[in-house]
Amino acid sequence: MMSFLVNKVFIFQILYIVGISAESMSGTISAGRKNMDLFGVITIATITALGGGTVRDVLLGHYPLTWVGHPEYIVITFLASAIAMMIAQHIIKLHKFFLIVDALGLVTFAYLGSDIGFHIALNAVSPQFQLIGSMIVAVLMAIITGISGGVLRDVLCNDMPLVFQAELYAIVAAIVGVLHTFTMILNIDNLVTAILIILFGFIIRLCAIFRNWHLPKIKYFT
């Protein structure tokens, strides 16, 4: 049982590192298009990678922040940004590959975000709404963890956030959050369900990328 838990922790640590590396690279590419200097690029990369978890933890009062307690993640982010600068030409050719890696990161962030959100909300929500209320907070935190890094990247690059316009991105985070919260409520939150949820979210995201699935843009002004 113990080794089972360790395995889940270990797998999510790998996925988390994959996720922040992919986000750091995406920030590096965005900043590179904006004529920023070396410092600007690394800053945008770091904020893109670690911004989602940071916004979530600040909103939940969940201190210390991940990267304050584990500054090794900052080092990983820097390295990923440096590598992205060196292989920038190839990243553009490898565009689809990076979208896939980014999708893994998104799903991982959402899974971890709903975990933290659910447990903190359980103690904060008034008893009569405890389960449904904690679920709402958990799903919001899945979305916030998944997208805030990219939103901050776009605001700091003076663009309108892509996630508000583009294909299924936030909704994938929401689906992962909903499913993970159900497994926590039903007490079946284990390695198997975790992998199934991660895979399911990942596949939907891939469909959005490769089959152009997207949410409707509702034209309510004509």
Q: Which residues bind a second copy (CB under 8 A)?
A: 31-41, 43-44, 54, 58-61, 63-65, 67-72, 74-75, 85-86, 88-89, 92, 120-121, 124-126, 129, 132-134, 136-137, 140, 151, 155-161, 163-166, 170-171, 214-218, 220-222
Q: Which contacts (CB < 8 Å, 24+ apart) does range 58-62 have?
A: 59/141, 59/144, 60/116, 60/117, 60/120, 60/141, 62/116, 62/120
Whichever of 1 and 212 has its CB closer to a second copy, that residue is 212
Cβ neighbour number for residue 41 with a 10 Å cutoff: 21
Could you identify the residue written with the tokens 């449904």? 132
Whichever of 3 and 126 has its CB closer to a second copy, that residue is 126
- What phi and psi, each to the nearest 5 degrees, are found at residue 198? -60, -45
Helix locations, 125-190, DSSP H: 130-156, 170-185
Whichever of 21 and 30 has its CB closer to a second copy, that residue is 30
Whichever of 143 and 194 has its CB closer to a second copy, that residue is 143
Residue type, 71: P
Cα three-residue angle 76-79-84, rounded to 5 degrees: 125
User: Is there a contact between 27 and 123 (Cβ–Cβ < 8 Å)?
Assistant: no
- In the complex, the smallest distance separating the C-beta of residue 156 from a second copy, rounded to whole angstroms, is 6
- In the complex, the smallest distance separating the C-beta of residue 140 from a second copy, rounded to whole angstroms, is 7
- In the complex, the smallest distance separating the C-beta of residue 93 from a second copy, rounded to whole angstroms, is 12
Give 64's DSSP letter.
S
Whichever of 13 and 69 has its CB closer to a second copy, that residue is 69
- In the complex, the smallest distance separating the C-beta of residue 203 from a second copy, rounded to whole angstroms, is 19
- In the complex, the smallest distance separating the C-beta of residue 169 from a second copy, rounded to whole angstroms, is 8
Whichever of 125 and 178 has its CB closer to a second copy, that residue is 125
- In the complex, the smallest distance separating the C-beta of residue 14 from a second copy, rounded to whole angstroms, is 18
CA of 88: how far to CAs of 77, 108, 154, in Å? 16, 25, 19
- What phi and psi, each to the nearest 5 degrees, are found at residue 129? -115, 15
